[in-house]
Structure 1
Amino acid sequence: MGGVLGDRSGRLGVTLTAALAPAAWGTTYLVTTQLLPEHRPMLAAVVRALPAGLILLAIGRKLPHGRWWGRAVVLGMLNIGLFFPLVFIGAYRLPGGVAATIGAIQPLLVAFLSVPVLSLRPSRRAVLAGLVGVGGVALLVLQGGARLDGLGVAAMVAGIALMATGTVLTRRWGRPEGVSMLDLTSWQLVVGGLFLVPVAAFTEGAPPALTGGNLLGFAYLGLFGTALAYVLWFRGIDRLGAGPASFLGLINPVVATTGGLLVLGQTLNGWQLLGLLLALGALVAGQPRPPRRVRPGQPAPAAPARVHTHA
């Protein structure tokens, strides 16, 4: 019994700490609009990724080896280098509610990508929870008359698809022996940040003079919203699995909406409250059921169904 309780408490601890990542990302819109320079999405992406990656690399002091050089590049581009610009394009061209609703499809994408990549068949419960999550987020954040920009929608969908792929590959590849999650995170942030430097220089030119508020915003996003958040996020994928971790992303629009209520004086109507409850319910339903206690003489529960594929 002690082992089962220990497993449950350990998993709960990992879940709660991993949830801090999308909670931090939910504050990004508020920090960006209130503290960062206007119309500088690529600068924000660079300053968010590269310094955080270099700090983590200086702490861990480990470089990839062997095939992990290639894997670090792939994961760094999927999770950071390509994801950041595409999501910023979507965020700047779409209302926040539309962007958040598109982002809520990530658990569904992860569930279906897990079939060919992880040989895991998504349960009907996970698919249903994913659909409810999208509906809940839509009710929570969509406003009447929201406009749809074709390029913005395409960029947002592509960005979410890339991160979903990165999430599944992070679960499949794990990490090399003797390498911490901090090291694995630093490689991806440095790869993505280095890619973004010339992109920012080409698209936005030299950075403007930064105010104290700008520096405070960049420090918050880099240290808390990126360095710490991504370490906890990848640790959650490693310990919980790609599917359960992806459902934690529903916390992002919940925190963003809450920030608007508390800081910007926005209000919550009845439909938004229903959406909030649906999103939180989908998040809980997307987590695996805890293992049942097996009594002496009772057969162990069956293992989850798997789909066997040939690599």
Structure 2
Amino acid sequence: MKSDRVKKGLAPFGHWVNIDGLLSTMALLAAMVLWGSSLVAMKYALSYFSPMVVVFARMIVATICFLPFIPTFSRLPLTRAHILPLTLMGFCEPCLYFLFEAAALGQTSASEASMITTLLPLLVAMASGLFLGERISRRTITGFIIAALGALWLSFAGSVSEQAPNPMLGNLLEFLAMVSATGYIILMKQLSRTLPPLFLTAMQAFIGTLFFGPLLLLPVVQLPAAFPISAVLSVLYLGTFVTIGAYGLYNFGVSRVAANQAAAFINLIPVFTLIMGFVLLGERLSGWQLMACIVVFCGVFLSQDTTEECENGKE
């Protein structure tokens, strides 16, 4: 019997459609567009502000936006059992994730970093099998190996440029960001069974603010002397449309589909980032890098084993 949460509606040609599934798909697609743009906006903001300033600013902007929801959040059935997974979720992302990604974008281009994100669905597939009991096939493992080799090729083929002064180091840091994101998705999936996505998104912003705020006091952090309007708008965009919008939409989607299925949408991020990086930042990929991208996509495609439907997230 299907869950009561699954809703259906009549399509124009008389076919019944899963409204809940359609909404989750649209939410995940919208999140990918916003995340694809976030790498470009982040890269632009980092040309004016230090990484810690950018990350803290987007966290505090998001936290302020969530303040009106505090009365609603105070009525949620929170227990002591939620404290540890909530803390670990926030530590994985945004804390570790943005530490690695901000450092990565200082060393590699947004386009190359976006290609490394294609490894995330494969990491989630393996972690889901270990921690959520979701199925891992030999095909998935083979695809992961191929995609990982493609990512290594992409890193070695990268050449030093204004946008990518150290592409190998930058891509490694982006991979570590993906490992952190894997922990976030697994914990998010577990927490979404009892807590609403909006609250989980707010907790991410709040934990991120507490984590990154004290880091601004470190001597190595260069505080901005000027605030160009374009850079400020980029940070505001990251704090509202990305931190609230993208994460809120993705958390909504993850709460309604299997972790594997939601993570598969992340393969769309490079498509949007490559286009935006080309149009807005003038980034280019060499022929060898494009071939490496193809290898990564082939590995990801091979890993998408759909022979057995995963029921997690449909319960």
* TM score, norm. by length of structure 1: 0.76
Per the alignment, residue 162 of structure 1 pairs with 180
Q: Retained in 2: the 8 A contact 1:254–1:276?
A: no
Superposition deviation, residue 288 in structure 1? 5.3
For 1:233 and 1:193, locate their aligned partners in 2 and report how far apart those are by CA, in whole Å. 20
Whether 1:17 aligns to 2:22 is no
Per the alignment, residue 56 of structure 1 pairs with 66
Per the alignment, residue 180 of structure 1 pairs with 196
User: 1:177-228, CA deviations, whole angstroms, 9 ceiling, x for partnerless residues?
Assistant: xx42111110121112210111233141434332222221111111101111
For 1:215 and 1:186, locate their aligned partners in 2 and report how far apart those are by CA, in whole Å. 22
Per the alignment, residue 159 of structure 2 pairs with 146
CA shift in 2, pair 1:103/1:267, >3 Å:
closer
CA shift in 2, pair 1:236/1:28, >3 Å:
same
Per the alignment, residue 53 of structure 2 pairs with 43
For 2:201 and 2:108, locate their aligned partners in 1 and report how far apart those are by CA, in whole Å. 29
More displaced 10-residue stretch of structure 1: 20-29 or 53-62: 53-62
CA shift in 2, pair 1:137/1:156, >3 Å:
closer
1:68-87 mapped onto 2 (5 Å cutoff): 68-87=82-101
Secondary structure of the structure 2 residue equivalent to 1:240:
coil
Q: Percent identity?
A: 22
Q: Retained in 1: the 8 A contact 2:151–2:292?
A: no
Per the alignment, residue 244 of structure 1 pairs with 261
For 1:265 and 1:55, locate their aligned partners in 2 and report how far apart those are by CA, in whole Å. 33
For 2:20 and 2:303, locate their aligned partners in 1 and report how far apart those are by CA, in whole Å. 19
* TM score, norm. by length of structure 2: 0.75
Per the alignment, residue 42 of structure 2 pairs with 32
1:121-132 mapped onto 2 (5 Å cutoff): 121-124=135-138, 126-127=140-141
User: 1:222-247, CA deviations, whole angstroms, 9 ceiling, x for partnerless residues?
Assistant: 11011111011111211122111112
Q: Retained in 1: the 8 A contact 2:50–2:223?
A: no
Which structure 2 segments of 5+ residues have no match?
1-6, 10-14, 161-165
CA shift in 2, pair 1:105/1:183, >3 Å:
same
Superposition deviation, residue 150 in structure 1? 6.5
Superposition deviation, residue 56 in structure 1? 2.1
Whether 1:220 aligns to 2:218 is no
Which structure 1 segments of 5+ residues have no match?
290-301, 307-311
For 1:249 and 1:32, locate their aligned partners in 2 and report how far apart those are by CA, in whole Å. 18
CA shift in 2, pair 1:18/1:138, >3 Å:
farther
Superposition deviation, residue 265 in structure 1? 5.4
Q: Which amino acid aligns with 2:242?
A: G
Two-structure CA RMSD over aligned residues (Å): 3.7
Superposition deviation, residue 102 in structure 1? 2.7
For 1:59 and 1:135, locate their aligned partners in 2 and report how far apart those are by CA, in whole Å. 45
CA shift in 2, pair 1:260/1:152, >3 Å:
closer
For 2:176 and 2:281, locate their aligned partners in 1 and report how far apart those are by CA, in whole Å. 30
For 1:228 and 1:123, locate their aligned partners in 2 and report how far apart those are by CA, in whole Å. 33
For 1:60 and 1:131, locate their aligned partners in 2 and report how far apart those are by CA, in whole Å. 45
Q: Retained in 2: the 8 A contact 1:132–1:279?
A: no
For 1:35 and 1:154, locate their aligned partners in 2 and report how far apart those are by CA, in whole Å. 21
User: 1:17-62, CA deviations, whole angstroms, 9 ceiling, x for partnerless residues?
Assistant: 1122232121123323445652511111111123213322432531
Q: Retained in 2: the 8 A contact 1:137–1:279?
A: no
Q: Retained in 1: the 8 A contact 2:124–2:259?
A: yes
For 1:145 and 1:270, locate their aligned partners in 2 and report how far apart those are by CA, in whole Å. 10
User: 1:237-262, CA deviations, whole angstroms, 9 ceiling, x for partnerless residues?
Assistant: 11122111112112221111111333
For 1:175 and 1:60, locate their aligned partners in 2 and report how far apart those are by CA, in whole Å. 21
Per the alignment, residue 297 of structure 1 pairs with none
